[in-house]
């Protein structure tokens, strides 16, 4: 086990030292300029399309439900535990770089989700798609799609679900003294009942859990900020100073702040990783750009609102300087400072619901890519059993091993997906221009592949 840990650590150090940070930033900046700062100029349109998309189509996943599936995967332990880890390892400055990667990353999310809609395919219950599909149909490289499908299935279906499980068991052990194995077994049985219901049940569960828990958590953070409003200028200054190495806190440095801010920010919002497009492709919508805008908004909401809520809770408490506090335990300690000892247990329950919603979203990503690899009940049930096994493994494993595995697979996914969406970005730019032109004409944009070059292998969007 120690040898495995060493190998994973060395590989992560290599991947994250320069390569991935360069790819993420360069890709995000490129897409930001090519879309003319879409994440700023079309923010109002993102909100409008999101709430417009609550309309349901019989037997289909609505755009709003697809948004909730992706948010279910985003809004989880990355927002609570991941941000605490970033601050503990990189200091308050990590929060600034988390903001930066979210803003530029939302452009990457727009590109990948728009492409997922364009290259989606029909299945028995609606649509499915994602990076594996646009790699095969758009780039005509099935081998690349197979590689990505394997990576995302291992990463989200197995490793990331172990991360969620690990956080839940830590939270319950810290607050209630509950044995990890017992919490793990309960999760396995509850989750097994949900996944057997299929994608529609996943969509319904995600829609309710995400909205309720996100609003509740943001509300708690808002109350804490208002109570400590006079301290906010100091907190903002602390974040900015540490981001550029002007003021070292908790062992943070420019490199540590930058790396941990980007890693944990990416783990939370998943921009450019290729995960959200799997949910985006499942939606019934009139134009691919609509789902691209919705998913770009999801990145901004996840990081600038929910992750920032956790950051403010921790930084306003002052406990991030205390040795021995990390991850969910740090966030629990911070909430206890603000609201009293009862808050630790309340957060444990909240983490359970947050992380459980993420288990649902992560599972769906794996399932849709299993379908890409091979449509087989045997493969699907093997995957389901493996997911349940990893939930139990995560409940019992050491924290560092689980998070290091997550970083490794996350990095590999980013490399493959960013390469693909960069090569296919012209298709997304074309779709965006088509959407804007129709809006200028006063129309509700409807996409039609006729007369558009490079869409020969597109299955949907027929005249």
d(CA 191, CA 387): 10
Is 166 a domain residue? Answer: yes
**Token pair of 379 as six digits:** 């493969």
Task: Kindly provide the b/e burial profile for residues 386-416, where b requires at least 16 CB atoms within 10 angstroms of the residue's own CB.
Answer: bbbebbbbbbebebebbbbbbbbbbbbbbeb
Domain span at residue 149 reads: 63-440
Distance separating alpha carbons of residues 233 and 75, to the nearest angstrom: 27
Residue 15 placed within a domain: no
Mean pLDDT of 420-425: 94
> 414: closest CA among 287, 225, 269, 214?
269
How much is the average pLDDT of 304-328? Answer: 79
Cα angle 222, 226, 232 (rounded to 5 degrees) comes to 100
Domain CATH code at residue 230 = 1.20.1740.10
Residue 262 pLDDT exceeds 50? yes
Whether 134 shows a pLDDT value over 90: the answer reads yes
Mean pLDDT of 350-376: 78
Per the structure, how many domains does the chain have? Answer: 1
326: enclosing H helix or E strand: none
pLDDT, position 333: 80
Please determine, for residue 424, whether its predicted confidence score (pLDDT) is greater than 90: yes
Q: Does residue 251 surpass a pLDDT of 50?
A: no
Residue 49, in any domain of the structure: no
Inform me whether the pLDDT recorded for 31 exceeds 60.
yes
Domain-embedded: residue 182: yes
Q: Could you report the per-residue pLDDT of 221-249, keeping only the tens digit for each?
A: 888 889 889 889 988 988 888 777 655 44
| 193 occurs within a structural domain | yes
- Asked whether residue 23 is assigned to any structural domain, the reply reads no
Quote the pLDDT of residue 7: 64
Question: Across the strands, what pairs with 262?
Answer: none
Share of the chain above pLDDT 70, in %: 77
Query: Would 133 be classed as within a structural domain?
Result: yes
Would 463 be classed as within a structural domain?
Answer: no
pLDDT at site 458: 86
Q: Which two tokens stand for residue 72?
A: 């279910």
Give residue 428's pLDDT: 94
318 vs 285: which has the higher pLDDT: 285
pLDDT at 130 over 50: yes
pTM of the model: 0.82
């Amino acid at each position: 086990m120690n040898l495995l840990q060493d190998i994973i650590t060395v590989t992560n150090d290599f991947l994250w030292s320069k390569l991935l940070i360069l790819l993420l930033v360069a890709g995000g900046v490129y897409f930001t300029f090519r879309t003319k700062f879409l994440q700023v100029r079309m923010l109002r349109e993102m909100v409008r399309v999101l709430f417009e998309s609550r309309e349901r189509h019989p037997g289909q996943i609505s755009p709003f439900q697809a948004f909730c599936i992706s948010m279910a995967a985003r809004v989880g332990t990355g927002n609570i535990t991941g941000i605490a880890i970033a601050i503990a390892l990189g200091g308050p400055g990590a929060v600034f770089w988390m903001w930066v990667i979210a803003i530029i990353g939302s452009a990457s999310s727009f590109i990948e989700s728009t492409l997922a809609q364009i290259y989606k395919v029909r299945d028995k219950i609606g649509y499915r798609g994602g990076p594996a599909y646009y790699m095969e149909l758009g780039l005509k490289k099935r081998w690349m799609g197979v590689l990505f499908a394997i990576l995302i299935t291992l990463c989200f279906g197995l490793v990331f679900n172990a991360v969620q499980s690990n956080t839940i068991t830590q939270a319950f052990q810290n607050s209630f003294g509950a044995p990890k194995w017992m919490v793990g077994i309960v999760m396995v049985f509850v989750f097994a009942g949900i996944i057997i219901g299929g994608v529609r049940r996943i969509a319904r569960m995600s829609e309710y859990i995400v909205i309720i828990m996100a609003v509740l958590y943001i509300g708690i953070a808002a109350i804490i900020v208002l109570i400590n409003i006079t301290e906010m200028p100091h907190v903002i200054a602390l974040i900015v100073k540490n981001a550029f190495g002007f003021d070292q806190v908790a062992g943070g440095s420019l490199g540590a702040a930058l790396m941990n801010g980007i890693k944990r920010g990416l783990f939370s919002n998943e921009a450019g990783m290729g995960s959200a497009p799997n949910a985006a492709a499942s939606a019934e919508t009139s134009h691919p750009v609509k789902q691209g805008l919705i998913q770009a908004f999801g990145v901004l909401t996840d990081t600038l609102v929910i992750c920032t809520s956790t950051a403010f809770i921790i930084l306003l408490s002052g406990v991030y300087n205390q040795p021995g506090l990390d991850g969910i335990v740090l966030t629990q300690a911070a909430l206890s400072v603000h609201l009293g000892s009862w808050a630790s247990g309340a957060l444990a329950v909240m983490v359970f619901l947050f992380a459980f919603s993420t288990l649902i979203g992560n599972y769906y990503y794996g399932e849709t890519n299993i379908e890409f690899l091979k449509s087989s009940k045997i493969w699907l049930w093997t995957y389901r059993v493996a997911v349940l096994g990893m939930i139990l493994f995560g409940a019992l494993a050491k924290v560092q091993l689980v998070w290091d595995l997550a970083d490794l697979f996350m990095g590999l996914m980013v490399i493959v997906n960013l390469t693909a969406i960069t090569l296919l970005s012209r298709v997304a730019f074309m779709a965006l221009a088509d959407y804007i032109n129709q809006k200028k004409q006063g129309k509700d944009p409807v996409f039609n592949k006729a007369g558009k070059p490079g869409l020969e292998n597109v299955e949907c969007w027929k005249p």
